[in-house]
Structure 1
Amino acid sequence: MSTPNRVYIARLAGVAVFDPNGDQVGRVRDAVARLRATPGPPEVVGLVAEMPMRRRIFLSINRITSIDAGAVVLGSGTLNLRRFEKRPNEVLVLQELLDRRVQLEPGGQPGTVVDVAMECSRGGEWSLTRVAVREQTGRLTRRGHLHQVAWDRARGLSGISEDRGTANLLAVLEDMRPADLANALQDLPDARRNEVAAALDDERLADVLSELPEHDQVEILAALDRERAADVLEEMDPDDAADLLNELPPPEQDVLLDLMEPDEADPVRQLLKYSSGTAGSVMTSEPVILPPDATVAEALARIREEQLSPAVAAQVFVTRAPMTTPTGRYLGMVHFQRLLREPPADLLGGVVVNDIDPLRPTTPLPEITRRMATYDLVAMPVVDRSNRLVGAVTVDDVLDHSLPPDWRERDTATAPVAVDEVLDGANE
C-alpha cells in the first residue's frame, strides 16, 4: 500500500475514492474500527464510502492500495455494493469518537477529541493509535492547547458516552451538500442526530430538513424549542414549510405559524389551504416575477441570485402589479435561454411567451406531470380564477410528490441478485 504511515481520519472525510482505472466511485464518509478482545487500540478494518444514490458501502482496508488526504485508490477486484451495516463490535470513528469528552493521562486533564489517527504496522495492520485532543479551558475567549497523544493516554474512548458536543463533527460535515448531510444524519442515533441538527444554523438546518423523510423532519423539529422551530420554518421555502407543517397536528401548526413573522407565515397558510395532490399543494409561491416593462438585463440579474434553486431560476414569470403572489394579471413567461438570446435593453413584454395554458390550483398531479412532459417544461405557472399568478410548479416539486412516500429513506435492501453473484461477502 502506497500511503503515509499515519493518517488522521477527519481529514479523509469527503475525499474521493477511485477505482484502479482512475474513475471516481464515491467519497469517504467514515472509518470502521473493530474493538479487540485483548488490551490495545482498535483495529481499522475499512472505510465507509458513499456511492451515487446515497448508498453507503464498506471498503475493506485490504482492498485499498493508496490512502491519504488527497485521494483513496482501490486495487483490482469487485466491490461489495450491499449497504454497510455496522456490527456490534465495531466503531464508526468520526460518528462516535469526534467531540467525545476524555481525560488525558497522567493527571486527568479534561479535553475534547478533535481527530483520531490510524497507523499501519510493518505487518500491514491498521490501528487507531493517536488521538488529537483539545484541552477544556473553561474560558469562552480562549481555546485550549491541542495535544496529540497515544490512544491509551485518553481515558473515556471506550464504551458509550453521552458527554460530547458537536463542533468537530459539524466541521467534518460542513462542506456536504444538504442532501448528503441529511443522509449522514440518518446514520446517527436519534439523540445524536437531534444534537447535530440543533447545532446547525437556521438556514442550513432548513435546507437539510427539506431533504429528510417526513418522520425525521417532525422529530427534529419537535426537539427544538418552538421559537427556534419557527425561525427554521421561516428559512424554508414556503412549499417545504407547508409540507412539514402538514405532518403536525393542527393545534401545533397554529402555534408555529403564529410564532413566525407574518410575511413569512402568510404564504405558508395559503399553501396549507389546498388539497393534497394538487398544483396548489406542491407549488412554490415565490417564483421569479417581473413586470412587462422590466428589461432582459434586469431579468438576467434576478435569476442569477444565489438563493434561487436551478428549477426556479430557469424562467421568469411576467405579470401586472403587484409582483408578489397573488399578482396582477398573468401575462406569460420567459425561459432563461430566450433571455440569453435577446438584447439586454429589450423589454420582457416583447419576448414573453403565453401559448401554453397555465395550471389551476386544483389541477391534479398526474395532469401536471403529463403536461410538463409533453412540453418539456422545467416549471409551469399556476393561476386563480381571476388569472392572477399564485405560484409555479417546478420539476423538483413534481418529482418529490411523484416518487413513493419513503423515497428519502435509507436503502436497506441488498444489491440485486445478478450483482450479488459476482460480489464478495459483506464487511469482510
Structure 2
Amino acid sequence: MAAGAPRIFVSHLSGIAVFDPAGDQVGRVRDLVVMLRVGQRPPRLLGLVVELATRRRIFLPMTRVTAIQSGQVITTGVLNVRRFEQRPTERLVFGELLDRRVTLTETGEEVSVLDLSVHQLPARREWEIDRVFVRKGRKGSAFRRAKGEALTVEWTAVTGFSLEEQGQGAESLLATFEQLRPADLANVLHHLSPKRRAEVAAALDDDRLADVLEELPEDDQIEILGKLKEERAADVLEAMDPDDAADLLGELPTDDQERLLRLMQPGDAADMRRLMSYEDRTAGGLMTTEPIVLRPDATVADALARVRNADLSPALAAQVYVCRPPDETPTGKYLGTVHFQRLLREPPPSLVSSILDRDLQPLDPEAELPAIAGFFATYDMVAAPVVDEAGSLLGAVTVDDVLDHMLPEDWRETEFHLDEEVATDGS
C-alpha cells in the first residue's frame, strides 16, 4: 500500500491470499504481528503470519509487502520459510487483541474490541495500528454485530492494550528478555520509552548490557551510557568489544571521554586511545585489539583450546595469529596466520609455526573501507590481520565490522529475517 493510502481494517485481511510478483499464490494471511509500546504510542505492525500450502506458518515482515489491494497481499518474492515463532514482545492481533475488553479513557466505560485499523506512515516503510472499532455493552465475538453502540476511536482513546510504565518492574522484563539474543533485545530496548530503557539497562549485568549496546543505534547507545553512573559506564565499556567501545567513546564530548578513560583499567584505556587515533573507516579504526595471538612454539592443541573460548565471536575464532613476544597487541613480529580448518587437519602436538599461511598479506592500519572490503571478497575471509610498518600485529578486522560500516546508518532499526530465505519463484 502506498504511503497516504486509506487505512485497512484487519478483519478484511483475515484469510486473504498472498502472492509473489509473478502472480503465484504462496499462502494466506492467518494473523498479524504487532509490538505494543509503552504509554499511548500506537503499536508497530511488524508483519503477517502467512500459512503456506503445506500448512506451515511463517512470518512475512511488512518490509517485504509491496501492496495490499483488491483482497490480496503482494510480496517482494522472497520469503523466510522458517516456522513462525512468536517472540515474548510480540502480540497476535486476531489471537490476542480482538474481542478484548478495554476502557475508554474519557468516560472510563468498558468496551469490546471488534476490529483494528492499520495504515502505513507517510514517507516511511513502517506500519502502525491507528484506530480501534469498539462496541459498548456486553462482550461478544469479534467481527459479529451485537446490540450496543459501536464506534471507531483513536488508539490513544482507549487503555488496556499497551504496556504500562508504572508497576512494571525491570525484573519481570528481564525474565521475558532472558532468552533473546543481544540483537533482539536491542530491538526491544530501542522501542521502549527512554524511562523504561534506562530501567532495563540499569538492571542488566555488565556483560549483557555490553552485548546489547553493540547492537543498538548510536543515539540509543549514547543515551543509555549517559544515564549510568560513571564507574559503571566505564565497566560496561571495558566489557564491550574494543572497536565498538572506541566508536562509542568517540561520539562523546572530549571531557566525558577523558573521565571515562581515567576510570578504566590502564590496559583497556590504552587500547581505546590507540583505536581512537585512527580514522573511523580505516583498518585501524575498525579492528579489535583482542584477536587470538600465539607464539611460534605453541601447539595445535594450544590453538584449539583458545579457539574454544565461548566469549569469542565466530569470526575471531576462525583463525589465530602467530607472533613473536609480546603476545598482546601491539605484538612482536607478525609471522603469519593459521586458519581454523587447518588446525582441525593437523595432529594436536604439531607446532603452529609449521602450518602458517605466509602468503596472506595483512592489512595496513591506514587501509580504507573499500580496500578492506575488496580484501575480504577476494580471499573469502571472515577476519584479517592488521600489521604496522614495524611488522607488529595491531589487531584484526572482522567481516561483521566491515558490514556495519557499509550498510546504511539506520540499518539496525530495520527488522531482518535472513535465515532460511528462499525465492518464491524458485530461483
Contact 2:183 2:212 in 1 (8 A): yes
Contact 2:290 2:395 in 1 (8 A): yes
Displacement of 1:263 after TM fit?
Answer: 2.2
Report what 2:385 is aligned to: 381
User: Is 1:331 aligned with 2:335?
Assistant: yes
* Distance change in 2, residues 1:334/1:321 (3 Å): same
After superposition, where does 1:348-359 map in structure 2 within 5 Å?
Answer: 348-359=352-363
Report what 2:90 is aligned to: 30
Displacement of 1:42 after TM fit?
Answer: 6.2
User: Is 1:203 aligned with 2:263?
Assistant: no
CA distance in 1, matches of 2:115, 2:333: 64
Q: Structure 1 unaligned runs (5+)?
A: 1-16, 47-56, 58-81, 91-120, 127-154, 413-428
SS at 1:205 equivalent: helix
Deviations 1:53-111 (A, max 9, x none): xxxx9xxxxxxxxxxxxxxxxxxxxxxxx744243769xxxxxxxxxxxxxxxxxxxxx
* Distance change in 2, residues 1:257/1:367 (3 Å): same
Deviations 1:340-396 (A, max 9, x none): 111111110100111021111111111111111111111111111110000011111
State the TM-score, normalized to the length of structure 1.
0.66
Percent of aligned positions with the same letter in both sequences? 53
User: Is 1:251 aligned with 2:277?
Assistant: no
After superposition, where does 1:220-235 map in structure 2 within 5 Å?
Answer: 220-235=224-239
Report what 1:40 is aligned to: 110
User: Is 1:87 aligned with 2:157?
Assistant: no
**Which residue identity is paired with 1:354?**
R
Displacement of 1:39 after TM fit?
Answer: 3.4
**Which residue identity is paired with 1:231?**
D
**Which residue identity is paired with 2:231?**
E
SS at 1:350 equivalent: helix
**Which residue identity is paired with 2:341?**
Q
* Distance change in 2, residues 1:39/1:300 (3 Å): same
SS at 2:413 equivalent: coil
Contact 1:36 1:43 in 2 (8 A): no
Contact 2:319 2:339 in 1 (8 A): yes
Contact 2:103 2:160 in 1 (8 A): no
After superposition, where does 1:237-316 map in structure 2 within 5 Å?
Answer: 237-316=241-320
* Distance change in 2, residues 1:159/1:275 (3 Å): closer
User: Is 1:371 aligned with 2:375?
Assistant: yes
Deviations 1:137-164 (A, max 9, x none): xxxxxxxxxxxxxxxxxx9999965354
SS at 2:411 equivalent: coil
* Distance change in 2, residues 1:192/1:343 (3 Å): same
* Distance change in 2, residues 1:167/1:348 (3 Å): same
**Which residue identity is paired with 1:22?**
R
Report what 1:162 is aligned to: 166
* Distance change in 2, residues 1:388/1:84 (3 Å): same
* Distance change in 2, residues 1:158/1:23 (3 Å): closer
Tell me the C-alpha RMSD between the 2 structures.
3.2
* Distance change in 2, residues 1:297/1:162 (3 Å): same
CA distance in 2, matches of 1:45, 1:261: 57
Contact 1:173 1:181 in 2 (8 A): yes
* Distance change in 2, residues 1:44/1:388 (3 Å): farther
Deviations 1:187-211 (A, max 9, x none): 1112111211221111100000000
* Distance change in 2, residues 1:161/1:386 (3 Å): closer
SS at 2:224 equivalent: helix
User: Is 1:219 aligned with 2:277?
Assistant: no
Displacement of 1:27 after TM fit?
Answer: 3.3
Alignment length (residue pairs): 308
SS at 1:393 equivalent: strand
User: Is 1:360 aligned with 2:364?
Assistant: yes
CA distance in 2, matches of 1:159, 1:340: 50
CA distance in 2, matches of 1:400, 1:307: 20
After superposition, where does 1:188-199 map in structure 2 within 5 Å?
Answer: 188-199=192-203
CA distance in 2, matches of 1:42, 1:243: 50
**Which residue identity is paired with 2:175?**
A
Contact 1:295 1:348 in 2 (8 A): yes
Deviations 1:209-263 (A, max 9, x none): 0000101100011111111111111110110100111110111111111111212
Displacement of 1:186 after TM fit?
Answer: 1.4
CA distance in 2, matches of 1:395, 1:411: 20
* Distance change in 2, residues 1:88/1:245 (3 Å): farther
After superposition, where does 1:181-192 map in structure 2 within 5 Å?
Answer: 181-192=185-196
CA distance in 2, matches of 1:158, 1:368: 46
CA distance in 2, matches of 1:218, 1:303: 32
CA distance in 2, matches of 1:356, 1:158: 55
